[in-house]
Structure 1
Amino acid sequence: MTDLVKDALSKAAMFCAYQERTQQEVRDRLKEWGVFGDDAEEVIAELIQQNYLNEERFAKSFAGGKFRVKGWGKRKIKQHLQQRGISGYNLDQAMKEIAPDDYRETLTELLTKKRQTIRDDNPLVVKQKLVRYALSKGYESELIFSVLGQEE
């Protein structure tokens, strides 16, 4: 292992220890540090072996965090994970972090809070705004209409 690779490995280990990262984020950071090709792959392989880098763990913490903290829906979480290069098994595991009961309850709470901010007397306009809001948060339209249908 060359000095450049050793140095990059220690910097990358600190980078990963600070918060969960994807392989792509580490690859991009290594490029900024001037580490390319086989050297970069060697660093990534070592980080995985030392358990600094684990995409399943990243996907689970990302999905759980965005759902609990920001109230994002599964569609939005999935899209953001895919943009970060997460797919297949890891994506499925991340979606399992969200309990169906909590998911519906969170959507209901979001819609209730949002309804209080809407200043309109027309029930159709209110419903339209609520649907648009929930869609922008990444929730599925069937679930949105199901939750809104129960409230009427």
Structure 2
Amino acid sequence: MDFSRPTYTLEEATRKLEGYCAYQERCHKEVVQKLRDMRMIPDAIDHIVVHLIDHNFLNEERFSMSYARGKFNIKKWGRNRITQELKRRDISQYNIKKAVAQLNTAAYLETLDTLAKKRLDGIKETNSQKRRKKLADYLLYRGWESHLVYDKITELIK
């Protein structure tokens, strides 16, 4: 038996997870994993998760909205990448749609334009076909929709 890691009572674990959720928005999957790492039994995990939801420490809709805003504003991710990452966190389809829909279309297209121009300035390739491919790969990796990416490339590279 491993005695080096602490054990927690139900009350201690609940308080610890309240702090964990208050510090930043968390999804259910992160909270359950944290409780498993604390070696809590399944009944205790269920009890604590219900408590966190009831006391509004844990809210999947709020998490998904915050996550989408943050990844778009800070990392400049497109809708596809945000959707993919939320799915990885087992967020419901309803909440994913709602989170992605909140992104302002004008700001979204403006960000794509800025990002594409900045990246294009950094591509040293002289062959226009290779420049197109490098720019497309970059923008698609970041989760921008392909039709927007190809329209932007056509606009920027003659």
TM-score grouping bracket, smaller chain normalisation: over 0.9
1:73 equivalenced with 2:78 (yes/no): yes
1:6-85 pair list within 5 angstroms: 6-85=11-90
Instruction: Provide the alpha-carbon RMSD of the alignment.
Output: 1.3
For structure 1, the 5+ residue unaligned runs are: none
For structure 2, the 5+ residue unaligned runs are: 1-7
**Structure 2 residue aligned with 1:121, among 123, 126, 144?**
126
1:149 equivalenced with 2:116 (yes/no): no
TM-score calculated relative to the size of structure 1: 0.93
Structure 1 residue runs of 4 or more that deviate by more than 3 Å after TM superposition: none
Q: Deviations over 1:61-86 (max 9, x none)?
A: 11110001000111111111111111
Structure 2 CA distance for aligned equivalents of residues 87 and 58 of structure 1: 11
Structure 2 CA distance for aligned equivalents of residues 150 and 129 of structure 1: 15
1:137 equivalenced with 2:142 (yes/no): yes
Q: Deviations over 1:29-86 (max 9, x none)?
A: 1111121212111111110111000011110111110001000111111111111111
Structure 2 CA distance for aligned equivalents of residues 106 and 139 of structure 1: 10
**Offset of 1:115 from its aligned partner?**
0.8
Give the equivalent residue in structure 2 for 1:5.
10
